[in-house]
Amino acid sequence: MVDQEDLRFEIPSYAFIALARRGMEKISLDQCFLKNCDNQDPELLEPFKKEEYEDDKKQVKEIYIKCKKCKGIFILKLETLKRVAKSTKDKDEDVLSMGMVYALDEKKNNLGHIGYF
């Protein structure tokens, strides 16, 4: 049995969307990303499965979430790029350890890039 509370803990609370020239907008990941569903109640979202894998460039975590409102299942895909060697030219430039969040449907069709976490 997977501990649901542990899975919940794996999901970042917020993602950030870059707005052209206007900084970042913060959005909650406690919502259903399926079409025609407006569920934003974390009580109605049930993470139930996790898959993790990595290649030489990134680490990927996929959290399967059941929405109790539309009865659908979607996947939050969290991609973290592995640390890239720092550029020697510009030593003020910090290495970004940002990850990207995507939403997928049950059949792993991409529902879109949500943002960064």
- Of the two residues 37 and 111, which places its CB atom closer to Zn ion in the complex? 37
- Of the two residues 61 and 69, which places its CB atom closer to Zn ion in the complex? 69
Q: How far apart are CA 45 and CA 30, in angstroms?
A: 8
39 is an interface residue for Zn ion by CB under 5 A: yes
Which residue has tokens 């803990």? 9
100 is an interface residue for Zn ion by CB under 5 A: no
60 is an interface residue for Zn ion by CB under 5 A: no
**What is the greatest pairwise CA distance in the chain?**
52
Rounded alpha-carbon distances, angstroms, from residue 57 to 16, 61, 82, 96:
22, 14, 6, 14
Candidate ranges 28-36, 75-83, 94-102, 103-111; the one touching Zn ion (CB under 5 A): 28-36
Output b/e per residue, 68-105; b: 16+ Cβ within 10 A: eebebbbbbbbbeeeeeeeeeeeeeeeeeeebbbbbbe
For Zn ion, the binding residue among 15, 29, 63, 67 (CB under 5 A) is 67
For Zn ion, the binding residue among 7, 17, 27, 37 (CB under 5 A) is 37
32 is an interface residue for Zn ion by CB under 5 A: yes
Q: How far is the CB of 13 from Zn ion (least distance, A)?
A: 18
Positions touching Zn ion (CB under 5 A) are 32, 34, 37, 39, 67, 69-70
